[in-house]
Amino acid sequence: MKLALFDFDGTLTTKDSLEEFIIFAVGKRHYYFKLIFFSPIFLLYKLKIMHNSYAKELLFRLFFHKIKESDFKALASSFSAEILNAILREDIYKKFQEHKLNGDRVIVVSASMRCWLEPWTKLESVELLSTELEFKDGEFSGRFSTLNCHGQEKLNRIQKHLNLDDYEEIYAYGDSSGDTQMLSIADKSIKV
């Protein structure tokens, strides 16, 4: 059996689904206005003073803290249905489909949120390893319930989810430094 691991944002898509989701949820005007308040955090992240996981958690807190879980998940489901197929990268999505048709085990491994990726991966009949939000008492707590599925955490999740020795050949598709560890375990790594 063969295994195919796909990063989502920038690999299967032409745009970052995180940014697209926030704009979808709050509107462009509100998004760019609130980004002004986020700019010091973004600078700390770019200077490698703040870890990307914490910066991302703060970004979600800025836009969605205390949003009702049902409202957030409804937004995520609508976003998944209305937007994700429109931002797919045609050439890599074709490879994704080929792996499925060949009977390979296909897993999307993404730092983006389960809330909007899971409806899409279910329709595609593939597995998903991703970052998850924490909801308490029916509201977003402002925190993640898992580590951000990025860099080393991608590899940790893969190794926890399956036994790599079970596969005769491993393919991995990624586009950024956040995919380096995942790409390193592949027999065939494709950086797009």
Its sign, for the CA torsion 176, 180, 185, 191, is positive
Percent of the chain with pLDDT over 70: 100
What pLDDT shows up at residue 111? 97
- What phi and psi, each to the nearest 5 degrees, are found at residue 97? -65, -40
Can you tell me the mean pLDDT for 132-137?
A: 97
Comparing CA positions, the residue from 10, 191, 192, 12 lying closest to residue 99 is 12
Exposure string of 132-141, with b = 16+ CB inside 10 Å and e = fewer, is ebebeeebbe
Q: Average pLDDT of the chain?
A: 96
Can you tell me the mean pLDDT for 86-93?
A: 98
What pLDDT shows up at residue 20? 97
pLDDT at 88 over 90: yes
Residue 99 and residue 177: Cα distance in Å, rounded?
24
Rounded to 5°, the CA angle 50-53-55 comes to 50
Q: Give the domains, in start order, of the chain with CATH numbers.
A: 2-191 (3.40.50.1000)
pLDDT at 42 over 90: no
pLDDT at 26 over 90: yes
pLDDT band of residue 103 (cuts 50, 70, 90) is: very high
Comparing CA positions, the residue from 83, 139, 90 lying closest to residue 112 is 83
- What phi and psi, each to the nearest 5 degrees, are found at residue 9? -70, 120
Residue 66 and residue 88: Cα distance in Å, rounded?
31
Q: Give per-residue pLDDT as tens, 44-76.
A: 988 889 888 899 999 999 999 999 999 999 999
- Furthest C-alpha separation in the chain: 50
pLDDT at 164 over 90: yes
Residue 10 and residue 20: Cα distance in Å, rounded?
12
